[in-house]
Amino acid sequence: MPIDPDFQTKRQVVGEHNGHKVWGPVEAPQKLGIHGTTSAVDWDSCIGDGVCIDVCPVSLYDWAESPGHPLSERKSDPARENDCIQCLACEMQCPAQAIKITPPP
Ligand code: SF4
C-alpha cells in the first residue's frame, strides 16, 4: 500500500529517530510507522528496494535494520531530510510508492 499523502493530518508523531520524526502507529516489529516529515518514508510500505538511496543526489538516506518486519528486514531512513533539494527522484522511482516529498513550510 502506498504512503498516505495526508499522513501529517491523519497521524500523530509518536517519537524521534535519527534526527527525524516518527508518525505512528508503531507496534514493532510488525508496524513501524512513517519516518521523516518533508522527506517521508512509510516503513510499512517500504520493501527495502534501495533505489531511493541510489538516486538521491544529496545522499539523504541511510539503511536501517528492521528485523521481523513482514515486508523487509531493512528500510530506507531519511537521516538528513533537511538536505533535500525536492528533485522528487526518490518519490518517482520508489517501486512501492513508499515516499512522499513535501516542500518545507
Ligand atoms: S526528493 Fe531528491 S533530494 Fe529529496 S530525498 Fe528524494 S532524491 Fe533526495
- Residue boundaries of the structural domains of the chain: 7-101
The whole-number pLDDT of residue 51 equals 98
- Looking up cell 516529498 gives 101
Query: Is 88 near ligand 1, meaning CB less than 6 Å away?
Result: yes
Could you give the C-alpha distances from 48 to 11, 17, 44, 85, 89, in angstroms and in order? 23, 18, 10, 22, 16
Ramachandran bin of 5, using left for φ above 0, alpha for ψ from -120 to 50, beta for the remaining angles? alpha
**Cβ atoms within 10 Å of 88's Cβ, excluding its own:** 11
7: CA distance to ligand 1 center in Å?
Answer: 19
Q: Say yes or no to pLDDT of 105 above 90.
A: no
Q: What is the pLDDT of residues 43-97, one digit of tens each?
A: 999 999 999 999 999 999 999 999 999 999 999 999 999 999 999 999 999 999 9
Contact at 8 Å (CB) between 46 and 73?
no
The whole-number pLDDT of residue 34 equals 98
Region 25-38: what's the mean pLDDT?
A: 98
68: CA distance to ligand 1 center in Å?
Answer: 28
CATH number of 7-101: 3.30.70.20
Q: Say yes or no to pLDDT of 104 above 90.
A: no
